[in-house]
Amino acid sequence: MQVTLIQNAAGRVVAANLAALDARLMNEEPADLIVLPEVFAIRGNDGDLREAAEPLNGRQVTWLADTARRHKAWVLGGSILERAGERIFNTTVLVDRSGKVAATYRKMHLFEAVLESGVIVRERDVYEAGDHPVMAGIEGWSCGLSICYDVRFPELYRVYAKRGASLLLIPSNFTQNTGKCHWETLVRARAIENQCFVVAPNQCGINSATGVASYGHSLIVGPWGDVLAEGGPEETTLRATLDKAEVERVRARVPALKHRRSMLES
């Protein structure tokens, strides 16, 4: 599978962000899967996010579908702000090559932290949490879906591994302060302990409405924990070819998934 990862720095205007992504994708090489970060189309304050929330048939999902058809690729919209009645969810949307929505996943774990600056980031002020894991099939690959803060909860990814996942997708908007300490360690750990490929696109740059910086340093990691591609602090594009046979080789080399004790299952 040929994967293209886009690391962007979204601003407060959805239309402008989507236009910038169109321009970047225009000259990209063909890919089987294009992956975008969490909230790829909008960063702002809580009011901006609420205003941008829309149903799954809104302009952001329409753009994802159009992009998939134009590039003849699967597209993972890292997350959109999904409005469902009075509720808002942080939702990953996966569309196939024809532009059809193949899967959606509502972020289960909502981030909360007091940053060094004293700024409090608390996603539950805007979002409600999803309540179940979601797997998706991408042309023979079994994929586990997740978003950002989920990466701190290894039990979610063990569920995916037990259900046969060979690829874990972790679109993110990891902050600068936590990212420099934890990001690579967490992403590589999820790959190593589940012996899966991990594709983790992250936002970069500063949120102009809040002043909170995103870390960037997007990652594509192999099932041995090896870093196949890594971004820096600026907008960038990463590419990698994933070979499912490598998952099988790693699991045969160290069959750790078979050695888990039954007393730990509950």
Taking only the tens of pLDDT, the chain with its 266 residues reads 999 999 999 999 999 999 999 999 998 999 999 999 999 999 999 999 999 999 999 999 999 999 999 999 999 999 999 999 999 999 999 999 999 999 999 999 999 988 777 878 789 999 999 999 999 999 999 999 999 999 999 999 999 999 999 999 999 999 998 999 999 999 999 999 999 999 999 999 999 999 999 999 999 999 999 999 999 999 999 999 999 999 999 999 999 999 887 655 65
Tell me, what's the pLDDT at 116?
A: 74
For residue 236 the two structure tokens come to 């960038």
Residue 181 annotated as catalytic: no
Looking at residue 73, what is its pLDDT?
98
Instruction: State the pLDDT at residue 87.
Output: 97
Annotation says 112 is catalytic? no
pLDDT at residue 265 in the model: 60
pLDDT of residue 264: 57
DSSP states along 131-183: -S--EEEETTEEEEE--GGGGG-HHHHHHHHHTT-SEEE--B--BHHHIIIII
Active-site position among 143, 148, 196, 204: 148
**Residue written as token pair 């289960």:** 108
Q: Which of 107, 123, 143, 196 is catalytic?
A: 107
Distance from C-alpha of 219 to C-alpha of 229, rounded to nearest angstrom: 6
- Entry pTM: 0.96
List the domains of the chain with CATH numbers. Answer: 2-264 (3.60.110.10)
Answer yes or no: are the C-beta atoms of 105 and 80 closer than 8 Å.
Answer: no
pLDDT at 262: 63
Helix (H) or strand (E) holding 32, with range, is none
